[in-house]
Structure 1
Amino acid sequence: MRKLYPMMVDLTGKRCLVVGGGSVAERKVTLLLECGADVEVVSPATTARLAGLAASGAVRIRRRPVRPPDLTGAFLVVVATDDPQVNREVAHRVRGAGGLVNVADDPEACSFLVPSVLRRGDLTIAISTGGGSPALAKKLRQRMEQTIGPEYEAYLTALRLLRERARRAIADPHARQAIFRRAVDSDLFDRAARGDAAGVDACIEDLLQAAPRAAAGT
């Protein structure tokens, strides 16, 4: 069993190639666009939505079968045609060149897998079964959606504000880390979840003022 390395990748402006134009490819394109990728699609035919994205300039489409030169220079390649042989051939070429490739419904041909993702603003929780059961990953994500709601977006915004203010106000990195640990056990979450901006600011100020005492307790 392969041991996959979990990582978060910045795709902003990166050329990402999607081979295929059906509904699966459409979902892959949508996720890549959400992450700021420069997306190119190669497929003789596409869904209406992909055609619309091309018409708006959001993606580029080459309406023909994939060719080896298409793969050159792509930061990553996603393969989602309805022809398993084409999928495998493309994956083999990309992996042989040391590239990153994901093949829909064929985890063994992939050099990276796309997890089931829960997003709450900048909070991202990714769940993967290593290709063993995408259905289980989806079910677990749906369970987490019930407990990790949109209030976590506001909470993370408050934590980010605390981090920025602590970096400006406190030189000692150990003292800052002590504050950050205290913050996740404070009532900052409740205040942020209520949309209590004044309460959030007061809580952050209390945490910063307690810096010497927090550092001494570490």
Structure 2
Amino acid sequence: MSTNYPIMLRLKGKKIVAVGGGKVAERKVKGLLGTGALVSVVSPELTSELTRLVGNGDIIWKQKSFSPEDIQEAFLIFVATSDEGVNQFVRSVAKDHQLVMIADDPEGSDFHVPAQVQRGRLSITVSTGGSSPILAGKIREQLERQFDEKYSEYLEFLFSKRQWILKEVKDSSLKKKLLTAIVSEEFLKSENKEEDFQHLLWFLGKNT
């Protein structure tokens, strides 16, 4: 059995097409919001939420049945209509370089979207390889409780301090100690991370 290859994609400016306007397509489209992707939905009708996103200018709606030219320049294609024949037709006309996900045919898809926990810069994904999306969802719920909203602020702190340390600290030993120390329970729970970092910098610098 071949395994899937996990990857995080930068989609800013990429053209993404969702074929279908129901609840499944809605979930896929909502997962793309905030990525900077250029999202189009091809469907005669839309859910109320997708209609709202069109009204907000978040996505483009092609109010029509699918035709091959709709995916001509697409980077990713999400196929989620209620008609298996249409879904397979989209698959058949996609080019070899285009990645296609078919909601009702995981084995015939090039990729699938894992269950995801997002806390600012922190992304945690869970996949069961298409065997049980329900189990993946349950595991995601456990992770959401474990990695709560405080991780958003903590990741911003880690990002900014890592950039500063790499740029300003020349001593390789001190650099490693600082990078290791800030990834700790104490800094995660700290009410004043900046002050604690300055104390750490003084202490380690003094003893290096």
The letter for the 2-side match of 1:126 is T
Partner residue of 1:143?
142
Matches within 5 A, 1:69-88: 69-88=69-88
- Of 179-188 and 5-14, deviating more is 179-188
Structure 1: tracts of 5 or more residues without a match: none
Instruction: Give the TM-score normalised by the residue count of structure 2.
Output: 0.90
Structure 1 CA distance, aligned partners of 2:83 and 2:66?
A: 12
Partner residue of 1:208?
201
Partner residue of 2:104?
105
Give secondary structure in 2 for the equivalent of 1:187. Answer: helix
Structure 2 CA distance, aligned partners of 1:3 and 1:153?
A: 31
Give how far 1:115 is off.
0.4
Closer, same or farther: CA 6–56 of 1 in aligned 2, 3 Å:
same
8 Å CA contact 1:18, 1:39 repeated in 2: yes
8 Å CA contact 1:187, 1:203 repeated in 2: no
Structure 1 CA distance, aligned partners of 2:154 and 2:45?
A: 44
8 Å CA contact 1:175, 1:212 repeated in 2: no
Give how far 1:92 is off.
3.2
Give how far 1:207 is off.
3.6
Structure 2 CA distance, aligned partners of 1:173 and 1:109?
A: 49
Structure 1 CA distance, aligned partners of 2:86 and 2:96?
A: 17
The letter for the 2-side match of 1:201 is E
- Of 146-155 and 181-190, deviating more is 181-190
- Of 172-181 and 115-124, deviating more is 172-181
Closer, same or farther: CA 82–172 of 1 in aligned 2, 3 Å:
farther
Give secondary structure in 2 for the equivalent of 1:34. Answer: coil
8 Å CA contact 1:16, 1:75 repeated in 2: yes
Partner residue of 1:14?
14
Structure 2 CA distance, aligned partners of 1:14 and 1:5?
A: 21
1:180 aligned onto 2:173: no
Give how far 1:118 is off.
0.6
Q: How many positions carry a matched residue from both structures?
A: 207
Give how far 1:24 is off.
0.9
The letter for the 1-side match of 2:144 is E
1:92 aligned onto 2:85: no
Closer, same or farther: CA 13–173 of 1 in aligned 2, 3 Å:
farther
8 Å CA contact 1:178, 1:211 repeated in 2: no
Give secondary structure in 2 for the equivalent of 1:16. Answer: strand
8 Å CA contact 1:129, 1:137 repeated in 2: yes
The letter for the 2-side match of 1:37 is A
1:66 aligned onto 2:59: no
The letter for the 2-side match of 1:28 is K
Structure 2: tracts of 5 or more residues without a match: none
Structure 2 CA distance, aligned partners of 1:188 and 1:102?
A: 40
Partner residue of 1:116?
115
Give secondary structure in 1 for the equivalent of 2:170. Answer: coil
Matches within 5 A, 1:126-141: 126-141=125-140
Partner residue of 1:2?
2
1:167-206 CA-partner distances (Å, limit 9, x unpaired)? 2311356643442222213611110xxxx2xx31122223
Closer, same or farther: CA 175–103 of 1 in aligned 2, 3 Å:
farther
The letter for the 2-side match of 1:150 is E
Structure 1 CA distance, aligned partners of 2:184 and 2:138?
A: 29
Identity %: 37
The letter for the 1-side match of 2:115 is S
The letter for the 2-side match of 1:153 is S
